Structure 1
Amino acid sequence: MIVEFDGEVFQWDARQDAAWYFTALPEPLSADIREIPRPQRGFGSVRVRASVGGSTWTTSIFPDSAGYYVLPLKKAVRVAEGLENGGPVRVRLEVLDA
């Protein structure tokens, strides 16, 4: 499954010494991914290959408390692609767990 979507970068302060940045997948896409038969992984994660601009990396998406999946945006990608907290992001996502 390969999809593209537009999202917004947001910061989650899990700890005082580290800030994490994510974008949320749209609800319909999150629902479609939940329906894909796959092996169980920790925290309900799903392995993906993500692309933003010229950056591509392999990571996992995670369900949040509202049931949406969120994609972590690592610092190297944010810097390379000029992503900022609250700003837009266009993502191409390939689900690898299927």
Structure 2
Amino acid sequence: MKVSFTAPLWEWDARAAWYFVTVPAEQSDDVRDRPRMPRGFGAVKVRATVGGSTWDTSVFPDSSAGSYILPVKKAVREAEGIGEGDPVEVRLQLLEL
């Protein structure tokens, strides 16, 4: 399963230098509804692509928003020239079934 979306990059208040993109509600519902083995913290393994950067990671449920969040590592932010508040075009491929 693949999902695509654009959302702003944001920094986590609780931990400086950790950046995320929130998966919109509709795409989060698609991720949530896909059958898979349970994992710690409700994480879902994905292959993320932003621009020319692709990496394997997990999306995590954000109970306050009811959506998933995607961590965006420093190497990707630097390679793609994105900073806090910038719109980020994301493609996610779910790796778990």
TM bucket, shorter chain: over 0.9
Superposition TM-score, scaled by structure 1 size: 0.93
Q: Any residues of structure 2 matched to 1:1-98 within 5 Å, and which? A: 1-15=1-15, 18-65=16-63, 66-98=65-97
Runs in 1 of length 4+ with deviation above 3 angstroms?
none
Give unpaired runs (5+ residues) of structure 2: none
Secondary structure, counterpart of 2:17 in structure 1: strand
For 1:22 and 1:93, the matched residues in 2 are separated by 14
Equivalent-residue separation in structure 1 for 2:71 and 2:12 (angstroms): 10
- Find the aligned partners of 1:25 and 1:88 in 2 and give their Cα distance: 12
**How many positions carry a matched residue from both structures?**
96
Cα root mean square deviation, aligned: 0.9
Length-normalised TM-score, structure 2: 0.94
Point out where structure 1 has 5 or more consecutive residues left out of the alignment. none
